[in-house]
Amino acid sequence: MSALRFSASAPLSLGVELELQLVRAHDHDLAHEAGDLIARLAKKRVPGAVKPEVTLSMVELNSSIHENYAALLAELRAQRAAVSEAAGVLNLRVAGGGTHPFHKWPERRVFPAERFRSVVERYGFLAKQFTVFGQHIHIGCASGDDAVYLTHMLTRHVPHFIALSAASPFYQGEDTTFQTSRLTAVSAFPLSGHMPFVRDWREFEAYFEAMRGYGIVESMKDFYWDIRPKPEYGTIEIRVCDTPLTVGRAALLAAFAQALACYYLTERPLEPSAAVYQVNAHNRFEACRYGYGGTVVDPYARRRKTIGDDILDAIAHAMPYAVRLGAASALSDLAAEVRGGYSDADWLRTQRGSAGVLGDVVRKAAERWSAAP
């Protein structure tokens, strides 16, 4: 019926993509040297992969496929060291965070590749405004039906991943008052949002074929959903996270996703419900605006909770599976940070200081990214 074949992968295998800011050493504005940095890294043995993104002010780190948190963290640390060293030779700095605090989008230059040129042709100025930086988390699935089930179940946890990763309080030189402003740029795209409420992979194939028949999409890359299946990889991809300020935190978020996936695929505690999507826009906004202090509606229990409390409940459910996966310490660390109210967004705000200089924020974020643990 469809060419959208799901290539099964090892269940619960783990991988991440990290979009990083390239900044100039002298003024901490975004640079245009992604091509030079990638060319330099191509001459070295760097684990995983370093790839271009839509503008010359960013690169994307791709991890290898891993079974557990510890192996992923070790590789991310090696990638960070290699990229930071190569950037230093070019008088560049590398930083995490979901947005650059004060760059101007008209100044961005598009990476010279056919894929990105087509994005500009289709979306116009939105393409340059898409110079925002996110972490994508891939979880392996044994079948397309598992991928559909897991996408529905993890959509319930979208506000958790938003709040835990929030690292974009500044945009275009202003404090947005949001914990994460990055997702407002993503939401501008017409194919953002969430996957339709389909029951299994066969129904998803029918949906995709209809959209392709209308000429709206050509591939899964055309969907900018919060969580989407990636049939060519045999994974689902969580896409709502800001890039954290450290690789350590990036690995913690991936460990949380893997443990939640293990919990749902093992216990099947709930059936997918369309009610999750009825409250998703509200829950998503609360997480973007207020982080842990926002209020979410639990569509299964039909009650309201703070996002911080909801995260701690989710960690409690996932913890036995984190123990099995060797990630109990990772989830314990996340829980401690939630209880203590720590977020990367608040850390960035504190770096602005009394002088209110956003260049200092970028400088300190770059120093933090490159620092050894």
**pLDDT (tens digit, 9 = 90+) per residue, 346-355?**
999 999 987 6
The structure tokens listed for 215 are: 């000429």
3-state secondary structure of 195: coil
Count of CB atoms situated within 10 Å of the CB of 110: 16
Q: Is the pLDDT of residue 344 over 60?
A: yes
Could you tell me whether strands 192-193 and 224-225 are parallel, antiparallel, or unpaired per DSSP bridges? parallel
Average pLDDT over residues 42-54: 93
What type of residue sits at position 90? L
Taking the C-alpha atoms of residue 204 and residue 194, their distance in angstroms, rounded to an integer, is 13
- Helices (DSSP H) in 130-246: which residue ranges? 144-155, 158-165, 182-187, 201-213
Q: Please, are residues 22 and 58 in contact by the beta-carbon 8 Å criterion?
A: yes
| Range scoring the smallest mean pLDDT among 51-65, 120-134, 309-323, 329-343 | 120-134
* Confidence band for 356, pLDDT divided at 50, 70 and 90: confident
Q: Which residues contact 205 (CB under 8 A, 6 or more apart)?
A: 1, 2, 4, 144
Whole-number percent of the chain with pLDDT over 90: 92
In Å, how far from its chain's centre is CA 64?
16
Domains of the chain: 14-370 (3.30.590.20)
What type of residue sits at position 251? A
Instruction: Write out the DSSP string of 76-87.
Output: HHHHHHHHHHHH
Q: Is the pLDDT of residue 318 over 70?
A: yes
**pLDDT (tens digit, 9 = 90+) per residue, 271-301?**
999 999 999 999 999 999 999 999 999 999 9
Q: Please, are residues 209 and 2 in contact by the beta-carbon 8 Å criterion?
A: yes
* Confidence band for 2, pLDDT divided at 50, 70 and 90: low
Instruction: Write out the DSSP string of 236-305.
Output: EEEEEEEPPSSHHHHHHHHHHHHHHHHHHHHH--S---THHHHTHHHHHHHHHHHGGGSEEEETTTTEEE
Q: Is the pLDDT of residue 1 over 50?
A: no
Q: Quick one: CA dihedral 39, 368, 160, 12, positive or negative?
A: positive
pTM score > 0.95 for this model? Answer: yes
Q: Please, are residues 143 and 200 in contact by the beta-carbon 8 Å criterion?
A: no
Q: Which residues contact 313 (CB under 8 A, 6 or more apart)?
A: 305
Average pLDDT over residues 60-89: 97
Average pLDDT over residues 61-71: 98
Backbone angles phi, psi at 153, to 5 degrees: -70, -40
Q: Is 120 exposed, middle or buried (0-12, 13-18, 19+ CB in 10 A)?
A: middle
Q: Report the run of H or E that residue 21 belongs to, with start and end.
A: strand 14-24
**pLDDT (tens digit, 9 = 90+) per residue, 112-162?**
999 898 988 999 998 888 899 999 999 999 999 999 999 999 999 999 999
Q: Please, are residues 260 and 152 in contact by the beta-carbon 8 Å criterion?
A: no
Torsion of CA 208, 211, 215, 218, to 10 degrees: -30
Q: Is the pLDDT of residue 59 over 50?
A: yes
Q: What is the pLDDT, as a whole number, of residue 3? A: 62
- Helices (DSSP H) in 291-356: which residue ranges? 307-325, 328-340, 344-352
